[in-house]
Amino acid sequence: MQRFFILILGLSLTAASCNVFDLGGGTRGVFKSEDGGQTYSASNALLPKGDINSLPITALAFDPNNSEIVYAAAGAGMYKSEDGAKSWKYILSGISVGDLVLDPANGSTVYASGIVGKSGKIIKSVDGGTSWVDIYSEPSDSNTVLSITLARNNSSTILAGLNNGEIIRSTDAGRTWQTVKDLTNRVVDIEFDSSNIAYALAVQAGLYKSPDAGLSWIEVSSVLTEDNLFSSNNALPSVSAFNDLAIDPKQAGVVYLGTEEGLYRTVDSASNWSFLSLPVRNGALSVSSITVEPNNSNAVYASVASTIYKSVNGGLTWETKVLPTSSIIDSILINPSSSNIIYIGLR
């Protein structure tokens, strides 16, 4: 059954004030590399004082017009850097932010999803995070909005995934919303590829695909079976949980899945899958984040716990870098103007 929502944009969230508290030492926050992932260092200075070392970072995003501007979503709100993560400003409080996305045609327009109290929310800024308005409020209690994305060919089309498994859709930049699918459990990621096919990932239900910008959905991860899986090491594990989804920004149909049992890839829009063997330590296979370089489809990054794996040949071989932290890598962001610059969000 579909639900329709029409929201009056009367509720305004203001930007966070500067009188933030000092944060002590920690092993979360943001790490940055300027040499293509050979070395990483913490980039957590907070203005006017303090740091974000102890904050769990759930998502990172660039301003599409200026890669020195970086946004970081956190359990405590949202932070913004205008100098390539040398320093951060606290720009949003009162919401635990799980995901964020910027309008590729207008970097001043930012959407954030999360929860306020017990109510799932989507909020929007049209001035780079100076002010915010509430554009979606989940009517049921304790139902977080976990993920959000914009269509590649029309940024007025928004898809968001909820904790209860529902996918909601707006075609008017968030003024009205429609429930288009129920995956029955947490929708942890949702993305569009370069041909405007949408993919949604639920922890237990797996991967779904929409050929019509989110109106209809088909399940496509059930082909992770021996008949449809080509493995580099003859390992054919059953998937117990799905963690992350990454889309190749240049090649339509190329999708990566991070699961509790390792890393998978399809090059034909999820008709067939290959299992990419990572040189993991201690048998750990839970892939928490994946990304593909914006301008190089052969350069792929994946993470397991606090270890980053980098491949420059499409997953045939991997380099390994362990960060000096016990926290889990939750997001990997690569500068589209300079692929040597990499940001890591830890939770």
Whole-number pLDDT of residue 11: 38
CATH code of the domain in which 74 resides: 2.130.10.10
Same-domain pairing of 159 and 136: yes
Q: Among 41-50, 139-148, 205-214, 223-232, where is mean pLDDT lowest?
A: 223-232
Whole-number Å distance between alpha carbons of 76 and 239: 32
Same-domain pairing of 110 and 176: yes
Is 23 among the domain residues?
no
What are the pLDDT digits (tens) for 107-120? 999 999 999 988 89
Could you tell me which of 106, 203, 125, 199 has the C-alpha nearest to residue 163? 203
Is 163 among the domain residues?
yes
Contacts with 23 (C-beta within 8 Å, 6 or more apart), sequence order: 46, 50, 51, 52, 53, 54, 55
Is 5 among the domain residues?
no
Whole-number pLDDT of residue 283: 66
Same-domain pairing of 179 and 83: yes
What are the pLDDT digits (tens) for 248-304? 999 999 999 999 999 999 999 988 899 999 998 766 789 999 999 999 999 999 999
Is 18 among the domain residues?
no
What domain range includes position 51? 47-215
Q: What is the DSSP string of 189-242?
A: EEEE-TT--EEEEETTTEEEEETTTTSS-EE-STT-STTTEEESSS--PPPS-E
Mean pLDDT (the chain, rounded): 89
Neighbouring C-beta atoms of residue 21, cutoff 10 Å: 9
Same-domain pairing of 264 and 169: no
| Cα atoms in the Cβ-side hemisphere of radius 13 Å centred on 295 | 7
The total number of structural domains in the chain stands at: 2
Same-domain pairing of 299 and 224: yes
Work out the pLDDT band at 308, boundaries 50, 70, 90.
very high
Could you tell me which of 42, 52, 63, 44 has the C-alpha nearest to residue 21? 52
Same-domain pairing of 108 and 161: yes
